[in-house]
Amino acid sequence: MSFNGYIGLPEDWLNILVAIHVLSAIIGIGPTYFSHVLLRKGQTLGQLKSSLTFIPLLEKFPKILGSVAVLSGILLAWLGDYGFKQLWIYGSLAVYVIIQIIVVGFMAPAAKKLVAKAMASSDPVDQTVSSELQVDVSKVNNLNYLAAIFGIILFLFMFFKPTL
């Protein structure tokens, strides 16, 4: 892959930008795939409460590194030899926006509701999660799976760079 930048940046700088872009994308979206472990079925209330304490920390990865990935991707399109003429760039941006809508618009509020209900529960911590609470766990987990599927589509756009 050749990076003959429009503004004459050295190729090393563009390679560093590619590395930043790829690493921030992988690390940024990683919690989407890890969260399923935290929201697994069959947990006790105590295990769920413990798992839910990680959600605020894990939310920081896509917020910060996802933003870095988008900005570095736009810079690569502008400075590199891709330009903004290729459909996969727009497809990637569209898929990223869909992921953000799922995560920020639906999953985060559902997760906050789940955390509030779980932490307020007076059930014994060694008891299996109640069916009412499990409905909320499933809702958050299903939204997480949906975001993960779109994340795979996003990586496929980036890897294969489909054209029309």
Q: Residue 5 pLDDT > 60, yes or no?
A: no
Distance (Å, whole) CA 146 – CA 163: 25
**How many domains does the chain contain in total?**
1
Does residue 138 sit within a domain?
A: yes
Dist. CA 73–CA 83, nearest whole Å:
11
Does a structural domain hold residue 17? yes
* Predicted structure pTM score: 0.83
At 9 the pLDDT is: 56
Which structural domain range is residue 72 located in? 11-160
- Asked if the structure places residue 6 within a domain, the reply is no
Asked whether the predicted pLDDT for residue 1 surpasses 50, the reply is: no
Distance CA 141, CA 118 (A): 15
Residue 136: inside a domain: yes
Evaluate whether residue 84 is within a structural domain.
yes
pLDDT digits (tens, 9 = 90+) for 20-75: 999 998 898 888 888 888 998 889 999 999 999 998 888 888 889 988 998 998 89
- 48 domain-assigned: yes
